[in-house]
């Protein structure tokens, strides 16, 4: 069965090297093992918004190359269950926000078939959701049973010192020098969840390039003031 052409791409920043693993070392080691063919079991990743779920799934695909496929639910749902037909041929399937399919009978059946075919071919399934399997709301008992076999990991939120380290790591990966004092300033002047912090960093990257300025506290203060 041929695969539908879906507009799915990987974010340039979403690699293992740019993920600050503090508190989540075990899951990162497991996923790197899968991507490098040292681990032969998939995983269920549970975590809240901006916990790094999507980053890690895409990092697996970036490391595994053509052996893997990244399948975000938000792009799959509009295309219907036929969107995942043929993907079992990949060695690693990474399904993001799999709980979006809970309660959708046709999708649950399609996922059940995909799981079985992937397993029969010796592939691995790595999925991410906002909660553990038992809380995801799947109605098809056989699917819930299959998914519960996956090693489960709960992504831990970063405390402030590690949020700052993660922000500086992301900046360094983009070729930006984010001084510690500037990173600390951002933590006190913006929303503290990582999605918001990374969004601010994206804007600062663009503005610094346009103005040919370094990310000093005065420059960052000026950029933030303009957005208010």
Residue 6 confidence (pLDDT) above 60:
no
Which among 62, 10, 14 is positioned nearest to 36, based on CA atoms?
A: 62
- pLDDT, one tens digit per residue, over 9-47 is 667 678 999 999 999 999 999 999 999 999 999 999 999
When pLDDT is averaged across residues 48-74 and rounded to a whole number, the result is: 93
Which among 31, 46, 42, 154 is positioned nearest to 97, based on CA atoms?
A: 46
Which of residues 193 and 150 earns the better pLDDT score?
150
- pLDDT, one tens digit per residue, over 165-189 is 999 998 998 888 999 999 999 999 8
pTM of the model: 0.85
- Judge whether 68 and 61 are in contact, CB under 8 Å: yes
């Amino acid at each position: 069965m041929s695969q539908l052409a879906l507009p799915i791409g990987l974010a340039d920043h979403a690699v293992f090297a740019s993920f600050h693993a503090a508190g989540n070392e075990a899951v990162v080691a497991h996923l790197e093992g899968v991507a490098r063919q040292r681990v032969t079991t998939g995983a269920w990743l549970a975590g809240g918004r901006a916990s790094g779920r999507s980053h890690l799934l895409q990092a697996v695909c970036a490391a595994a190359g053509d052996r893997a496929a990244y399948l975000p639910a938000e792009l799959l749902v509009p295309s219907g269950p036929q969107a995942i037909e043929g993907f079992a041929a990949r060695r690693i399937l990474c399904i993001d926000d799999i709980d979006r399919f809970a309660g959708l009978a046709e999708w649950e059946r399609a996922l059940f078939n995909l799981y079985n075919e992937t397993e029969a071919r010796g592939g691995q399934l790595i999925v991410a959701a906002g909660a553990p399997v038992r809380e995801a709301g799947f109605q098809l008992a056989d699917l819930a049973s299959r998914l519960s076999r996956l090693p489960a990991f709960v992504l831990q939120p970063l405390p402030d010192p590690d949020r700052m380290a993660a922000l500086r790591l992301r900046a360094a990966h983009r070729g930006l020098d984010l001084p510690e004092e500037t990173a600390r300033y951002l933590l006190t002047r913006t929303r503290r969840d990582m999605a918001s912090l990374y969004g601010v960093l994206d804007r600062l990257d663009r503005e610094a390039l346009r103005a040919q300025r370094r990310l000093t506290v005065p420059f960052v203060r000026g950029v933030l003031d303009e957005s208010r």
